[in-house]
Amino acid sequence: MKVSVIVPCYRVEGYIHRAVDSILAQTMADFELLLVDDGSPDRSGAICDEYARKDSRVRVIHQENQGAPAARNAAIEVAGGEYLFFCDADDWMEPDMLEVLVDLIERTGAQLAVSGFTIDTDTDHDILRQTLSAPDAFYPTKEDFRQAAAALFDNNLLYTPWNKLFPARRIREIGLRFPDTFWDDFPFNLGYLRDVESVAVTSRALYHFTRSRVESETARYVPAMYEKREEEDGWMRELYAYWGVEAGEFLARRYAERLVGCVENLTNPQCALSRPEKLAAIRKMLDSPRAREALSLARPRTALLRAMFLPLRKRRVYWTYLQSEVITFTKSHASHLFATLKAARGKARTA
């Protein structure tokens, strides 16, 4: 069997048909589909069972709710495919995605295949689509890949598992599993990329990442977001130190962009902190040595980002707070405008 497609399912009864139908319609038929019902309280599990009764390629795992990382890990343990592909239950795939990625690995001998993807955002008026991709490329050695990785990270192609095809043997050789942590995709990918020997990239956008509403995956207030972003920055710095690759400006710009998000998290309507507490938290962020260094080194690629960095660079706490209030208001009341501006913010690095 060529591919095991792994889909964790929890509260996705309104989306799962589209995801599964796009998988079963793949031009390459040599795959199994592992649907993991993670104790979903809606009809997701029953829908999975219906598909299994109709198509012998579908296998269903039912388990008590443990979260998406545990669901994916349960499927990894029983997967029989030569390759592993991870799909989220509210997303969907182009019909030839598996065929293209398998061919890419088998033609080049790469240890990882990466595709572009499209972000489909459901806004106030319509679906806004933003395509993220990189030119066709093959990096035959780990040194080649490590030098190119910053550009691929910049195009958001290396953070998630669902635009990639992984050789199952390699996953098992290094004992890689999804950790039980918030935003588990990132450390899983870093664990694989750390020692990957060769990588192939297709410029085609074969996967559709769906936002049912603007910023749905981070719309809620996250009390520990700043601490989590600090941890992630540490992982990235450690990775580049391990690789022995200089990436100071890239890492600084990445940190600064996420710092804007950490401040905006404080102006989320769900945040119960008082205004003085929010201002104190912003002051703490802006005064940290890491933030000051990152903001001095970062070279934003667009005028919008340069403007957004300005109050942070000047360490003007109240200006930073007001800017964040505007971002939150736009996200909540003008989702199409927000999604358009967010896409434009990264346009220079994805062109």
Q: What is the mean pLDDT of the chain?
A: 93
Segment 237-266 mean pLDDT: 97
Q: Which residues, in sequence order, are CB contacts of 163 under 8 Å at separation 6+?
A: 114, 115, 116, 117, 157, 206, 207
Query: Of the candidates 212, 239, 255, which is a domain's last residue?
Result: 212
Segment 18-22 mean pLDDT: 98
Least reliable range by pLDDT among 31-45, 113-127, 157-171, 329-343 = 329-343
At 204 the three-state DSSP class reads strand
Q: 339 and 234, same structural domain?
A: yes
Q: Which residues, in sequence order, are CB contacts of 209 under 8 Å at separation 6+?
A: 88, 91, 117, 118, 119, 120, 160, 162
Query: Of the candidates 190, 212, 234, which is a domain's last residue?
Result: 212
Q: Which secondary structure element, helix H or strand E, spans residue 190, and what is its range?
A: helix 185-193
Q: What do you get for the CA distance between the two ends of the chain, in Å?
A: 37
Residue 325 is predicted with a pLDDT of 96
Nearest-angstrom CA–CA distance, 48 and 52? 6
Q: 198 and 226, same structural domain?
A: no
Q: 340 and 197, same structural domain?
A: no
Nearest-angstrom CA–CA distance, 351 and 20? 31
Query: Of the candidates 212, 246, 278, which is a domain's last residue?
Result: 212
Residue 346 is predicted with a pLDDT of 57
Q: 247 and 155, same structural domain?
A: no
| Long-range pairs for 335-340: beta carbons < 8 A, 24 or more residues apart | 335/121, 335/123, 335/124, 335/213, 335/214, 336/123, 336/124, 336/125, 336/126, 336/128, 338/123, 338/214, 338/215, 339/121, 339/123, 339/128, 339/130, 339/214, 340/128
User: 217 vs 91, which has greater pLDDT?
Assistant: 91
Residue 216 is predicted with a pLDDT of 43
DSSP code per residue over 141-182: SHHHHHHHHHHHHHTT-SS-STTEEEEHHHHHHTT----SST
CA separation, residue 244 to residues 35, 152, 332 (Å): 40, 17, 42
Q: 200 and 85, same structural domain?
A: yes
**Whether the Cβ atoms of residue 184 and residue 70 lie closer than 8 Å to each other:** no
Q: 282 and 184, same structural domain?
A: no
Residue 215 is predicted with a pLDDT of 41
| Other CB atoms within 10 Å distance of the CB of residue 171 | 18
User: 286 vs 182, which has greater pLDDT?
Assistant: 286
How many structural domains does the chain have?
2
Residue 182 is predicted with a pLDDT of 79
pLDDT level of residue 124 (50, 70, 90 thresholds): low
Percent of the chain predicted with pLDDT > 90: 85
Q: 167 and 268, same structural domain?
A: no
Q: Which two tokens stand for residue 170?
A: 């390699």
Q: Which residues span the domain enclosing 121?
A: 3-212
Residue 334 is predicted with a pLDDT of 74
Residue 76 is predicted with a pLDDT of 98
Residue 332 is predicted with a pLDDT of 78
Nearest-angstrom CA–CA distance, 54 and 35? 14
CA separation, residue 249 to residues 88, 187, 252, 285 (Å): 32, 22, 5, 19
Helices 317-333 and 248-266 meet at what angle, rounded to 10? 70
Q: 276 and 197, same structural domain?
A: no
CATH number of the domain at 84, please.
3.90.550.10
**Whether the Cβ atoms of residue 18 and residue 63 lie closer than 8 Å to each other:** no
Residue 213 is predicted with a pLDDT of 44
Q: 262 and 164, same structural domain?
A: no
pLDDT level of residue 170 (50, 70, 90 thresholds): very high
Question: What pLDDT, in 10s, does the model give residues 192-245?
Answer: 999 999 999 999 999 999 976 444 444 678 999 999 999 999 999 999 999 999
Q: 24 and 135, same structural domain?
A: yes
Residue 333 is predicted with a pLDDT of 76
What phi and psi, each to the nearest 5 degrees, are found at residue 128? -95, 125
Tokens 């989702």 belong to which residue? 335
Segment 48-61 mean pLDDT: 98
Q: 158 and 11, same structural domain?
A: yes
Q: 251 and 206, same structural domain?
A: no
- pTM metric for this prediction: 0.92
pLDDT level of residue 122 (50, 70, 90 thresholds): confident
pLDDT level of residue 126 (50, 70, 90 thresholds): confident
Least reliable range by pLDDT among 181-185, 221-225, 289-293, 327-331 = 181-185
Nearest-angstrom CA–CA distance, 198 and 207? 22
Residue 121 is predicted with a pLDDT of 82
